[in-house]
Amino acid sequence: MNKIYFFFLFFIISNTIFSQNQNLVAFVENSSDNKPIPSVHVINLSQVIGVITDKEGKFEIPAKLNDTLYLSYLGYKSIKVRVTNDLLKFENSKIQLTELAYALEEVIVKPYELTGYLEIDAKNVPVSQSFRYSIPGLPTRGYEGGSRNSGAFSKVINAIFNPADFLYNLFGKNPRQLKKLKQMKEDYRIRELLSSKFDRETLVELLQIEKIDIDEILRNCNFSDSFIQTANDLQILDAISGCYEEYKVLNRK
């Protein structure tokens, strides 16, 4: 009995220790030649904390067991890494990034064989079952709905009543995402990363929404298509945050 008791006591203590924040130390290197990669942005998605690797590819970031790290660097494929016990225990862990030149070799560019004759190709290529709705008075090119966009039409109806309702409906169901908006704005490392990016990938991972939702949020908050297409990710973050703050002010009134 004593052995069993001590075993469970040790198990509980171990879990308690590793469920608390620790400083995770690791190295980022190129998967093709194992050379260190400096200036990689490492973001703890679970806690919205960002750091950058030094010239030796080393980084140190607060983390706990089962947190998710997001690594991003220009010219390399971004990856997500789950924080495990070995990552927390050992300071010489290596995380490898793959150059996009290698990653693209695995992408299938042509899913359909086209002949060049319109009448033949039109019959061979499957037609999307999505539908596009255009609502007079709303500053958009239309909204897509259908079997491949579940709930898309309901989003259109919700957006009619208040331009920022679409934003609230997305984030209101998950208050943690609203908290993340504030944390992202306050972390200068994350802001530095977002200011250099235009692909929305980091925003998608941090906010846990789709790219199409980001576009619809901004359109319903009266941002132009030109801004949506040309703004960097930091400008998009500030626009979304500002839109929600305006919504809260109007809602109080």
pLDDT average, residue stretch 66-70: 95
Tell me which of 45-59, 60-74, 207-221, 230-244 is least confident: 207-221
Q: In this predicted model, what pLDDT tens digit does every residue of 105-147 receive, in sequence order? A: 555 555 556 666 656 655 565 554 444 444 444 444 444 444 4
Res. 24: pLDDT tops 70:
yes
Domain boundaries, the chain: 2-104, 128-252
Which percentage of the chain shows pLDDT scores above 70?
59
- Report the mean per-residue pLDDT for the chain: 75
State pLDDT tens for residues 152-207. 544 444 444 454 566 666 666 566 666 787 788 888 889 999 999 999 999 999 88
Judge whether residue 97 has pLDDT over 60: yes
Q: What is the DSSP secondary-structure string of the chain?
A: -HHHHHHHHHHHHHHHHHTS-EEEEEEEEETTT--B-TT-EEEETTTTEEEE--TTSEEEEEE-TT-EEEEE-TTB--EEEE--HHHHH-TTEEEEE-BHHHHGGG--S-SS---S-HHHHHHHSPPP-EEEE--TTSSSS-EEEETTBTTHHHHHHHHHH-TTHHHHHHHHT-HHHHHHHHHHHH-HHHHHHHHT--S-HHHHHHHT--HHHHHHHHHHTT--HHHHHH--HHHHHHHHHHHHHHHHHHHH-
Q: Of 222 and 144, which is predicted with more confidence? A: 222
Q: Domain 2-104 maps to which CATH number in 2.60.40.420, 2.50.20.10, 2.60.40.1120, 3.40.50.2300?
A: 2.60.40.1120
